[in-house]
A and B are shown apart, each in its own frame.
Chain A
């Protein structure tokens, strides 16, 4: 069998005219010496099987391996799949074979995983007790010596960078166990089976240590993590296909008795997924590095962009401030405009009302004139015939009523002209008795007939007078009395408070009062509580009272009988003549 292989190789190698030296980089997991002796058999096999080619084992640690690959000082590498993934990202490697077993039938050597160990006598029983403790590991990049353990710790809810005091010691991994034994560290993340191998070699006692996390596995070694395929053999790009084929054949065809048995390359898919999970995948790290270097290279451009962004943000804030300010201004203007519109609307209504009243007054004045003239003419003629004619009183009454109508019209027109801004004319003002005015109104309105349930209580005497235009007080009192009566009052109180400073007339009813909201708008035109009301009664009263140099106010107030009602107060301040 061996002869046949030799023969085959000889045939294949026949075309090669010169011998070359090939370096095989091997990850020196347990130091250079041990690695070299461990892998010596591979070198020997290759040299024997491929005469004319010279292979040399080069034990390398993680960083040396990376450097060697970058510098192309090694043509083949033997390493674990995580290293494979990392190397592969820089220069494409061809995977030739994966280690199946080592002589002696142990499967332990071709799997990789981590075990987290503590000293048995330290009393640490779970990973959570490691928080704040010093934990040793090989290297931040080491797969079995850190990353797998790191993943296991994260899965148990610990964030190693923050919670643990990590200490990386590098290769060889043996050092970690010695440190742990010497209590320099409280726990260690080591590749699986390292402990068992070292005990076999008589270096340490396995019983001194305990695994903090244990994961069931098909092998006899302690493990804290799932196991992944270990050693794989790869060729660098500069190795010719032919040589790679030959090496692969030698590896795959190695006899049962050979030190290492190789098989088809294992998939690195699982490992890549794992590295991505813990964000150690070279693609991710390189992306970040690329961004960083790109940023450094384009410092100026980036600075400019940042500055522009800053300016844009400032500009945006400034614009928003302006928008807000303008918005508020607009809002204010809007309110002002609405007020003006309202004022205009009121003025328009007043002007319509004024025109209406004016025309109305003029048209009524003419027939009133005629009525007076006839009445007075009749009176004069009757007197000429008979001094005591019974119709005289009736004619006098006709005359008086016509005069009253004319007075009302005049007040209305005074009010309108005043509402439209004309000055007050007071040549016809005279002394008006408040009590007489009220009685007059009561009689004119025929209150006893129309509102028999309503009674009038007066606290006033005939001597209390006011200087007012004729009929003005009567008009106001008529409006207020009718309002109270129609609201359902049973009693109306008229109180006069005569003082040096002025006269105050209060007209109180007991009809239950008015809603406060309506009360506030009582003097607004066209506001009414009655369906058939015009909403002008109180407006006219206010105008009239103001024309008479007084002020009118309205409020809800308890009446003398304890019931709630409305009190209208007319305040006439005495003027110095």
Chain B
């Protein structure tokens, strides 16, 4: 279930927004300061963080920074006042999904949220694949790469200088670890993370 996190220091606005979003059928969690949000919220799931730009103590920018650092899968949508548009644009370059100017009406808000949820979902999926991929041993990763490139078992065996039988064993273990039901699913999953430049960062870390 998609969750919308609302982070704004103005409680009245947060409550109102929650009221609207609940009317639209979302599950909404309200937060009033960044520290609380980071200590209690589930960061690794499909969802959206509606983030106010101007807050005391920890402002929107700092919260976004922390989200990136923690590798959260929540999509970030900024809510800004009049003067903060350039700042919001800057944040979009750094990975925020969208920004909306206050006071926002229901329609654009809903559109932005739908889009953000989609993004979050993809991020979440990728994160899951990355987690699986990280369980592979170096040998299995090499083999997985060759499989993704479309080589058959014999070719993989000759390339890696191992027996075809061994290739089959490794391959079965890769399929298991990557939670793939079929060869096509495995290739698809591997391509998602290996083609994505960002994924390399995950791999390295």
Q: Which residues of A contact B (CB under 8 A)?
A: 358, 361-362, 365-374, 376-381, 384, 399, 402-403, 406, 409-410, 413, 417, 425
Inter-chain CA distance A374–B10, complex, in Å, is 15
Chain B residues with Cβ below 8 Å from A413 are 82-83
| 19 CB-based A-B contacts, threshold 8 Å | A365-B102, A365-B103, A368-B103, A369-B13, A370-B10, A370-B12, A370-B13, A370-B17, A373-B13, A374-B20, A377-B21, A377-B106, A379-B106, A380-B24, A381-B23, A402-B103, A406-B102, A410-B82, A413-B83
Asked if B192 is an interface residue, CB under 8 A from chain A, the answer is: no
Chain A residue nearest to B10 (CB atoms) is A366
| Chain A residues with CB under 8 A of B24 | 380
Q: Determine if B82 and A365 form an interchain contact, defined as CB atoms under 8 angstroms apart.
A: yes
B24 to chain A, nearest CB (A): 6
Count, A-B residue pairs, CB within 8 A: 74
- B residues 1-33 in Cβ contact with A at 8 Å: 10, 12-13, 15-17, 19-24
A377–B16 CB distance below 8 A: yes
Q: Distance (Å) between the CB of B102 and the closest chain A CB?
A: 5
Interface residue B87 (Cβ < 8 Å from any Cβ of A):
no
- Whether B20 and A377, one on each chain, are in contact in the complex, defined by CB atoms closer than 8 angstroms, is yes
Extra A-B contacts (6), CB below 8 Å, given A365-B103, A369-B103, A406-B103: A366-B102, A372-B104, A376-B105, A377-B20, A377-B22, A377-B23
Q: Does B81 contact A (CB under 8 A)?
A: yes
A-side contacts of B23, CB under 8 Å: 376-378, 380-381, 384
From known contacts A358-B83, A366-B12, infer whether A372 and B105 are also in contact, taking CB-CB under 8 Å. yes
Q: A365-B103, A366-B12, A369-B103 are in contact. Are A376 and B82 (CB under 8 A)?
A: no
User: A252 to nearest B CB, angstroms?
Assistant: 128
Q: How far is the CA of A399 from the CA of B103 in the complex (A)?
A: 10
A397 smallest CB distance to B (angstroms): 14
Contacting residues of chain B (69-87) with chain A, CB-CB under 8 angstroms? 81-83, 85
B14 nearest CB neighbor, chain A only: A370
Distance in Å: Cβ of B14 to nearest Cβ of chain A: 9
Give the size category of B's interface with A.
Answer: 20 to 34
The interface residues of chain B lying within 8 Å CB-to-CB of A370 are 10, 12-13, 15-17
Chain A nearest CB from B36 CB (Å) reads 20
Pair A417/B12 contact, Cβ less than 8 Å: no
> Distance in Å from the Cβ of B201 to the closest Cβ of chain A?
34
Given A362-B81, A365-B81, A410-B82, A374 and B105 contact (CB-CB distance below 8 Å): no
Q: How far is the CA of A409 from the CA of B103 in the complex (A)?
A: 11
B12, B15, B16: which has the most chain A beta carbons within 10 Å? B16
Closest to A405 in B: B103
A367 to B15, CA, bound (A): 11
B22: chain A residues at CB < 8 Å are 377
User: How distant is B26 from chain A, measured CB to nearest CB, in Å?
Assistant: 11
Chain B contacts for A410, CB-based, 8 A:
82
| Bound Cα distance from A125 to B22, whole angstroms | 138
Interface SS of B by simple majority: helix
Binding site for A on B (CB under 8 A): 10, 12-13, 15-17, 19-24, 81-83, 85, 102-106
Main secondary structure of the interface of A (DSSP, over half): helix
With a cutoff of 8 Å between Cβ atoms, the chain B residues found around residue A365 in the complex are 81-82, 102-103
Assuming the contacts A366-B102, A376-B23, asked whether A371 and B16 have C-beta atoms less than 8 A apart, the reply is yes
Do residues B12 and A367 form an inter-chain contact, with CB atoms below 8 A?
Answer: yes
- For the complex, give the distance between the alpha carbons of A451 and B119 in Å: 56
Q: Give A366 to B82 CA distance when docked, in angstroms.
A: 11
User: A417 CA to B16 CA in the complex, in Å?
Assistant: 29
How many Å lie between the Cα of A367 and that of B16 in the bound state?
10
In-complex Cβ contact of A373 among B19, B81, B82, B85 (8 A): B19
Residues of A within 8 A of B85 (CB): 425
Contacts of B10 in A (CB 8 A): 366, 370
Residues of chain A within 8 A (CB-CB) of B104 are 369, 372
Q: For residue A424, give the distance in angstroms from its CB to the closest CB of chain B.
A: 13
Closest to B9 in A: A366
What residues of chain B lie closer than 8 Å to A399, measured between beta carbons?
A: 105
Whether A409 contacts B82 in the complex (CB less than 8 A), given A370-B13, A374-B16, A380-B20, comes out as: yes
B106 & A380 in contact (Cβ 8 Å cutoff): yes
Q: Which residues of B contact A369 (CB under 8 A)?
A: 13, 16-17, 102-104
CB contacts (< 8 Å) of A403 on chain B: these are 103, 105
How far, in whole Å, are A406 and B13 apart by their CA atoms in the complex?
15
Docked pose: A403 CA to B106 CA in angstroms: 12
| Cα distance, A361 to B15, chains bound together (Å) | 21
Q: Name the 10 nearest CB pairs between A and B, nearest first.
A: A373-B16, A369-B103, A370-B16, A377-B20, A380-B23, A376-B106, A377-B23, A377-B19, A373-B20, A372-B103
A366 and B83 in contact (CB under 8 A), knowing A372-B105, A373-B19, A376-B20? no
B15 to chain A: which residues have CB within 8 Å?
370
Q: Which residues of A contact B16 (CB under 8 A)?
A: 369-374, 377
Chain B residue at smallest Cβ distance from A428: B101
**Cα separation A399 to B12 with both chains bound (whole Å):** 17
Chain A residues closer than 8 Å to B19, beta-carbon distance: 373-374, 377
Q: How far is the CA of A374 from the CA of B23 in the complex (A)?
A: 10
Contacts of A361 in B (CB 8 A): 82
Min CB distance, B51 to chain A, in Å?
14
Nearest CB in chain A: distance from B10 CB, A: 5
Residues of B within 8 A of A380 (CB): 20, 23-24, 106
Closest Cβ neighbor of B79 among chain A residues: A369
- A399–B106 alpha-carbon span in the complex (Å): 10
A362 contact set on B, CB distance < 8 A:
81-82
Bound complex: CA A413 to CA B15 (Å): 26
**Chain B residue nearest in CB terms to A373:** B16
Question: How far, in angstroms, from A372 to B21 measured CA to CA in the complex?
Answer: 12
Q: How far is the CB of A172 from chain B (nearest CB, A)?
A: 122
How far is B109's CA from A376's CA once the two chains are assembled, in angstroms?
11
Q: Name the residue on B nearest A367 (C-beta).
A: B12
In this complex, what residue of B is CB-closest to A427? B85
Inter-chain CA distance A378–B23, complex, in Å, is 8
Distance of A373 Cα from B93 Cα, bound (Å): 28
User: A417 and B102: CB pair below 8 A?
Assistant: no
Residue of B nearest to A368 (CB): B103
CB distance from B3 to the nearest CB of A (A): 18
CA distance A380 to B103 in the complex (A): 17
CA distance A380 to B23 in the complex (A): 6
Quick one: which of A365, A368, A413, A417 has the most chain B CB within 10 A?
A365
